[in-house]
Amino acid sequence: MRIAIMGIQGSGKGVQGDRLASDLCVPRIVIGDVIRERARVDDEVGREIADQMGRGELVAEPVVVQALAVRLALRPEDGFVLDGFPRSGTQVGTLDAMLGRLGAQLDVAIHLEIDEQTARSRMADRLVCSVCNAPTSRRRVGTGDPCPLDSCVGTVVPRTDDQDSVAVDTRLAEFYALTVPVIDEYRQTGRLIEIEATRDEDAVYDEMRSRLAALAGSRP
Ligand code: AMP
């Protein structure tokens, strides 16, 4: 199945998308991670991306499109869980066109729905691995503790864009202005599963799996 997982910052896309991809045995494509990797390259493009991310702005379209094209070219017919794309109406068209060229299409978008207060408090609590970006929370571990993944040697740190109040406001504003219309479009075209995601991780995951199973069963 080709799935896009969507939601406001802190809605659990990382954790839920990771579980889903490993259970379905498909790659998880995390656009934010790909962009963060590019931002580490010390050249003009890398510095520009790092500045945009630091301000909480969406990065320029060509960078994101290239990041996605590289990942999608790797056997999209086997399915994927796409995290962080599409985030705007333009990106919906880009994704459909890219998949179309590969003879594929997006099967479903999942919207993990939480309120803004929960989003803000989860961002304030969020810690990520400095090596693999795996997310965790200050409710479970402290800064500098080992990565939650046994196989990783990294330690967890806060994300700088989660700690900067202007960047947080910008990211939330972009979600409402650009990404909510995308979610509306998927709803109107019958390609959306909506999950109430303020509940605990397992409850959200179980509902997501059963809704996906029902969808797969209802299709010829
Ligand atoms: P995330 O880890 O998904 O919160 O993404 C981190 C940052 O990467 C965002 O604040 C944007 O600067 C950038 N980014 C991620 N996805 C996209 C996208 N689809 N379009 C443009 N910029 C993006």
Nearest CA to ligand 1 atom 22: 58
DSSP 198: S
With CA atoms as reference, report the closest residue to 36 among 157, 181, 139.
157
Query: Is residue 59 lining ligand 1, measured as CB closer than 6 Å?
Result: yes
How deeply is 3 buried, as exposed, middle or buried, from its count of CB atoms within 10 A (0-12, 13-18, 19+)? buried
Residue 102 pLDDT more than 90? Answer: no
Residue 76 pLDDT more than 70? Answer: no
Exposure string of 47-72, with b = 16+ CB inside 10 Å and e = fewer, is eebbebbeebebbeeebbbebbeebb
Peptide bond into 76 cis (omega under 30): no
Query: Is residue 35 lining ligand 1, measured as CB closer than 6 Å?
Result: yes
Nearest CA to ligand 1 atom 11: 58
Mean pLDDT of the 185-213 span: 97
Q: What is the mean pLDDT of the chain?
A: 93
CA of 32 to the centre of ligand 1 (A): 5
User: Quick check: 14 and 126 in contact, CB under 8 A?
Assistant: no
Mean pLDDT of the 12-31 span: 94
